[in-house]
């Protein structure tokens, strides 16, 4: 059902913020997105140069495939994109009660611990700063995080997908998404995901 669910998500997303045009080589998008997110996480002044955020973003991107495209310092036009994306992220954070960036996700079975993008109590927000619509991989990622938190006795009631470049937001209850994906309640779906992660560990 994933293909139909993702189509439904993209049909029911809402405008949130102002779209940010892609004015550079697309291979630079990752370092721009990461810099903007790190600046939003510390509420950095919008037009103040932030070498620490740029360096941390570049170091992270260098570990990824095609990471060499993050080695070059940001141009001024790219810094403007960073600011505009950061503004959208801060606008979203302003609607939340107590947003936490880089929230911890406990490990489960064969899946190691990680850090998610944003959380607000029992609400998880997955941020995808890309020029494309949402994909099944985006939804799978946040559902896996829900399962990993469930395995540590932490509840998740709501999930959101947010694209600050396209300024598009989708928000739904975990139960609604789980039913659309699997025809079951949220607890049943995440419990099956936990069983699968632990099962792979046992079989290994």
What is the pLDDT at residue 68? 58
- At residue 171, the pLDDT reads 97
Residue 32 Ramachandran class (φ > 0 left, ψ -120 to 50 alpha, else beta)? alpha
Range of the domain at 170: 2-13+98-203
Instruction: Indicate if 25 and 88 belong to the same structural domain.
Output: yes
Domain boundary among 76, 93, 110: 93
Q: Please give the C-alpha separations between residue 202 and each of 27, 108, 191, in angstroms, as whole numbers.
A: 39, 12, 16
39 CB neighbour count, 10 Å cutoff: 24
Based on the fold, state whether residues 155 and 197 are members of the same structural domain.
yes
Its sign, for the CA torsion 169, 175, 176, 179, is positive
Is the same domain home to 110 and 179?
Answer: yes
Are 129 and 81 spatial neighbours (Cβ–Cβ below 8 Å)? no
Choosing from 45, 62, 93, the residue where a domain stops is 93
| CA nearest neighbour of 90 among 3, 2, 18, 190 | 18
- Long-range contacts (CB closer than 8 Å, 24 or more residues apart) made by 75-80: 75/24, 77/23, 77/24, 78/24, 78/28, 78/32, 79/49
Task: Report the predicted TM-score, pTM, of the whole model to 2 decimal places.
Answer: 0.91
Same domain, 86 and 139: no
Q: Identify the pLDDT of residue 6.
A: 95
Separation of alpha carbons 11 and 111, rounded Å = 31
The CB density around residue 199, as the number of other CB atoms within 10 Å, is: 12
Q: What's the pLDDT at 203?
A: 46
Helices 136-151, 174-182: axis angle to 10 degrees equals 120
Q: What is the pLDDT along the chain (204 residues), one digit of tens a residue?
A: 788 999 999 999 999 999 999 887 778 899 999 999 999 999 999 988 888 888 888 888 877 766 556 677 888 999 999 999 999 999 999 999 999 999 999 999 888 999 999 999 999 999 999 999 999 999 999 999 999 999 999 999 999 999 999 999 999 999 999 999 889 899 999 999 999 888 866 544
Angle at 95 between CA 170 and CA 181, to 5 degrees: 25
pLDDT at 188: 93
98-101 LR contacts (CB < 8 Å, sep 24+): 99/125, 101/37, 101/40, 101/41
Domain count, the chain: 2
Q: In this structure, are 57 and 158 located in the same domain?
A: no
Task: Determine the Cα–Cα distance for residues 80 and 19; give it in Å rounded to an integer.
Answer: 13
DSSP 8-state secondary structure symbol assigned to residue 64: S
| Alpha carbon distances (Å) from 126 to 70, 158, 202, 203 | 22, 11, 29, 30
Task: Enter the DSSP assignment of 108.
Answer: B
Report the run of H or E that residue 15 belongs to, with start and end: strand 14-15
Q: Tell me, yes or no, whether 37 and 60 share the same domain.
A: yes
């Amino acid at each position: 059902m994933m293909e139909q669910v993702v189509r439904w998500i993209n049909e029911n997303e809402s405008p949130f913020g102002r779209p940010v045009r892609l004015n550079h080589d697309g291979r630079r998008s990752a370092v721009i997105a990461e810099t903007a997110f790190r600046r939003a996480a510390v509420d950095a002044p919008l037009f103040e140069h932030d070498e620490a955020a740029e360096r941390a973003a570049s170091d992270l991107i260098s570990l990824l495939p095609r990471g060499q495209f993050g080695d070059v310092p940001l141009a001024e036009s790219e810094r403007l994109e960073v600011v505009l994306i950061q503004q959208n992220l801060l606008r979203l954070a302003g609607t939340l009660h107590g947003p936490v960036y880089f929230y911890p996700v406990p490990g489960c079975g064969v899946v190691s611990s990680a850090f998610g993008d944003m959380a607000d109590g029992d609400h998880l927000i997955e941020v995808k700063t890309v020029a494309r619509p949402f994909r099944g991989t985006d939804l799978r990622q946040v559902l896996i995080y829900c399962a990993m938190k469930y395995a540590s006795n932490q509840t998740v009631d709501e999930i959101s997908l947010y694209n600050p470049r396209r300024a598009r937001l989708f928000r739904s209850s975990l139960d609604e998404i789980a039913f659309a994906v699997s025809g079951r309640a949220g607890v049943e779906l995440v419990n099956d995901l936990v069983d699968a992660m632990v099962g792979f560990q046992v079989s290994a």
